[in-house]
Amino acid sequence: MKSQNLLIVTQKMDKNDPILGFFHGWVEEFSKNVEKLNVICLEKGSPREMSQGDNFAEGEIISQGSYNLPKNVQVFSLGKEQNKSKLKYIWNFYKYIFKLRKEYDAVFVHMNQEYVLLAGIFWKILGKKVMLWRNHQNGSWLTNIAVDMSDVVFCTSPSSYTFKFKKTKLMPTGINVEKFMLENEPTRVSGSILSMGRISSVKKIDVLVRALLHLDSKGFEFKVDIVGDRDPKEPQYYDLVKELAELLVKKGKIQFKDSVPNTKTPQEYFSHELFINLTSSGSLDKTIFSAMISGDLVLVCNTFFIGVLPEQFIFKDGDVYDLSSKIKAILEMDNFKKRKVIEEMKKYVMEKHSVSVTIKMIMNTI
């Protein structure tokens, strides 16, 4: 296994990024399974010194930007952090894959099919094995071509567009469980609810607010933190949600908070009792599994979790009243039942969805 050299192509290398910071842990895990690892990313973090809080053995880590990676890892940016043009991105991409061609045996493209479309033929000529991770529900003829140019495709959900292809393998979500092993856990506030992620229409935060308004009208007590930034693609949605929640904000029942660095997300999960995710079936939101391993109760509408979660932890997609009734039922559940569900969910994530399990499955396909 260690004799393999790997090239990874991804969006961003920045351990603090609220959305993509998780991939730093993936690269660390990949590095344990290869002799040499090169990473090409569209963007990387700003230069900084390694902090005293970084949990790595002395002499083992190269510190560059907001990522700390083992010595067998090199990171090459296409230049988005320097505001390079798209033509420059493409030029740099071709420059790196050619320059490094003798330093990798296989390629793992994470999330962006465009890189397979740009370089698939080049990699085939050189005999490089191409692995594409793509988990979007929608696809096109370009996706079909990218799949055809790949040797193997990975996705986490049967609802993914790529699941239908014979070369596709269904995968775990790849949660860095060690990140959620806190020495000093924050106090978990009883009756507290957390929503985490960019505030966009696909996340359906308006449905959550409407359910909370219904509970408030019945005199039910709760405290909700909605953590996430405005989606720049639809800024008006954030304004809609804030306006809808105005009464509950005034009552102190809802608080909107900016996104937090990926490295700080465990503190958010650990300080809440219930995590709610309203994303429809079709993809698997990593925040759900992060909440599980953190000891949160989770409430979802994704049909993937039928048979994984007890029935009372799955609500009807978009149904305000079903959501509100299940929030109330979960928060009023006796502590023994809560602890039992929490322990089962932690075990499930550890055994089925850890990053170590995920990376080993990927490496076994090379």
Q: How many CA atoms lie within 13 A of 211 on its CB side?
A: 25
Identity at 311, one-letter amino acid code: E
CATH number of 178-352: 3.40.50.2000
pLDDT mean across residues, the chain: 91
d(CA 223, CA 333): 17
- Burial group, residue 27, by CB count within 10 angstroms (0-12, 13-18, 19+): buried
Q: What is the mean pLDDT of residues 164-189?
A: 90
CA–CA distance from 33 to each of 2, 68, 90, 179 (Å)?
5, 17, 29, 20
The pair phi, psi for residue 207, each rounded to 5°, is -65, -40
d(CA 70, CA 63): 9
Host H or E run for residue 62: strand 61-64
Taking only the tens place, the pLDDT of each residue in 302-318 is 999 999 999 999 999 99
d(CA 192, CA 271): 8
Q: What is the mean pLDDT of residues 344-353?
A: 96
Per-residue buried b or exposed e for 321-355, using 16+ beta carbons within 10 Å of the residue's own CB: eebbbbbbebbeeeeeebeebbeebbeebeeebbb
Would you identify the CATH topology of the domain 5-176+354-363?
Rossmann fold (3.40.50)
* Domain chopping of the chain, boundaries: 5-176+354-363, 178-352
Token readout for 144 is: 């079909």
Q: Is the pLDDT of residue 53 over 60?
A: no
pLDDT at residue number 282: 76
Q: What is the mean pLDDT of residues 46-67?
A: 44
pLDDT at residue number 192: 97
pLDDT at residue number 323: 98
Contact 263, 257 (CB under 8 A): no
Taking only the tens place, the pLDDT of each residue in 231-252 is 999 999 999 999 999 999 999 9
pLDDT band at 2 (very low <50, low <70, confident <90, very high): low
Q: What is the mean pLDDT of residues 123-149?
A: 96
Identity at 19, one-letter amino acid code: I
pLDDT at residue number 163: 95
Taking only the tens place, the pLDDT of each residue in 186-234 is 789 999 999 999 999 999 999 999 999 999 999 999 999 999 999 999 9
